[in-house]
Amino acid sequence: MKILIRSTTLDGEPIPGSGETIQAADCLEVVELMRGQTPFTASRAPRDYMTEVLSGIEGGPTQPLPEEAAAAAAEFLTRLARHGLIEFLPDDKACDPWPERFLEALETVRLSGRTNMLDHLEVTRLTAEMGYPEVAEWLADHRREYAAFVLEGTRPLGKNFGGKEDPAPCADK
């Protein structure tokens, strides 16, 4: 399964057109990846992490999650999606993760000398300005994949970040 975790304002409101893509085998693995994104949440038990996040979003005590871990993870992600904080993405995008003119667009930006290629936001803006709107849209939604490409030269051809083959979709999708 593949999700987009939206960036948020300081007030916790999702920012349209922003975020980071996460791909995992199932809902529970997505929660594990989310939980591990900061040192403040990485050591928490998955259930405690999910409950704490939901109470912050939904304001105080929340409806309890199902007892079974996979069902709890699916419910957690569903509730985040209702608040616009995540978006479920089709897994078929993983087959060819970047647009056709991706390399051409990045080479155009690089040759212009107008930005450091590590500046994701500026590279995204410049690709749109230079006539590659589909690449700019992809860059806005795939920050992690872009970083892997720039730093390691890798193309994540349908593999998630743990190196596993294309994941199965969430059972309740």
pLDDT by residue (tens digit) across 113-140? 999 999 999 999 999 999 999 999 999 9
* Stretch 53-78: mean pLDDT: 89
- Looking at residue 94, its pLDDT comes to 46
Q: Beta strands 86-89 and 20-23: pairing type?
A: unpaired
* Stretch 154-159: mean pLDDT: 48
* Stretch 70-92: mean pLDDT: 87
- Looking at residue 67, its pLDDT comes to 93
C-alpha distances in angstroms, 95 versus 39, 100, 161?
Answer: 32, 12, 14
Confidence of residue 163 (pLDDT cuts 50, 70, 90): very low
* Stretch 42-51: mean pLDDT: 92
Q: Locate tokens 């970047």: which residue? A: 98
- Looking at residue 89, its pLDDT comes to 84
**Other Cβ atoms within 10 Å of 171 Cβ, number:** 11
- Looking at residue 162, its pLDDT comes to 39
- Looking at residue 17, its pLDDT comes to 74
- When mean pLDDT is compared across 67-81, 86-100, 115-129, the lowest value belongs to 86-100
Return mean pLDDT, the chain: 83
Q: Which residues of 46-60 are buried (b: 16+ CB within 10 A; e: fewer)?
A: bbebbbebbeeeeee
Q: Could you tell me the two tokens for 38? A: 């900061």
